[in-house]
Amino acid sequence: MAITQYFFTADAYFNFVDKARALGVKQPIIPGIMPITNYTKLARFSDACGAEIPRWIRKQLESYGDDSEAIAAFGTDVVSRLCQRLLEARRGCTSIRLTRRRRCSRSSTT
């Protein structure tokens, strides 16, 4: 089994799966989906790891400013529609892995 980096467009997943299958990959390829709950953190993390946030999503999230409820509602809608499209397309997606960015804490022992 393989799990993809998170993405926000179903076509990115379909294209990746098609290329992997053409290379002979037979294992299930599970889409990694990142819930949208905080635009600033998501944008910073995505920029750092090279994940693309489509322009239309960035623009809409920017328009909400600090309205965390509007961001969460929009994020839920976007991610729900993405998951629905992935599962309904019947192009290799049989399950979805929702992922989240975890805050790591450092600890030391003496």
Alpha-carbon distance 96 to 30, whole Å? 6
Which neighbouring-strand residues pair with 97?
Answer: 32
Alpha-carbon distance 93 to 103, whole Å? 29
Q: How many CB atoms lie within 10 A of CB 2?
A: 12
Q: Which helix (H) or strand (E) holds 32?
A: strand 29-33
Q: What is the domain partition of the chain in residue ranges?
A: 1-24+63-103
pLDDT value of residue 101: 58
Alpha-carbon distance 51 to 8, whole Å? 9
pTM of the model: 0.81
**Averaged pLDDT, 16-42:** 92
**Averaged pLDDT, 46-58:** 92
Beta carbons of 89 and 17 less than 8 angstroms apart: no
What is the percent of the chain where pLDDT is above 70? 89
Alpha-carbon distance 36 to 77, whole Å? 10
Is residue 12 classed exposed, middle or buried when 0-12, 13-18 and 19+ CB atoms within 10 A define those classes? middle
pLDDT value of residue 102: 54
**Averaged pLDDT, 75-94:** 89
